[in-house]
Amino acid sequence: MLREILLLFFVVGAGTMGELCISRAMKTIGEVRNFSPRNLLYVILQVIRVKWIWVGFSLEATAFFSLLWVLSFANVSMVVPVTSMSYAAGALGGKIFLRERVTRERWTGILLVTVGVILVLVGRS
């Protein structure tokens, strides 16, 4: 059980850090408002020059393949709820890494998700 939990927290950590890095990369490019093929090609050419996108893709791929590995031996009824800890990790990372404002209501929701994950882990048989 400890191995499963550690691997799941690795999946959550790598996936969330990947999302944060991709978000940081996209914030350097700016909001995409024009979805014409020519503009999308321009955006893609800009994005592939930002190092954060490659770090993010690498972390996301690592998280995905780690999740597949965990699903090969752990119960999905435990895996999916525990991976929802990415909500808490994302909010914390957004606040620290991206300097986002996280409201009290969001923290309350994240607390509820965290309590739910704890119940899933405690109720594991």
Tokens representing residue 52 in the block: 């954060």
Domain borders along the chain are: 2-122
Which of 113, 85, 92 shows the shortest CA–CA distance to 8?
Answer: 85
Model confidence at 125, in pLDDT bands (50, 70, 90)?
low
Q: Is the pTM of this model over 0.75?
A: yes
pLDDT tens for 5-28 read 899 999 999 999 999 999 999 999
Residue with tokens 């800009």: 46
The predicted pLDDT at position 68 comes to 96
Residue with tokens 């999905």: 76
Q: One-letter amino acid identity for 57?
A: F
- Measured CA to CA in angstroms, residue 7 lies from 3, 79, 98, 123 at distances of 6, 10, 25, 19
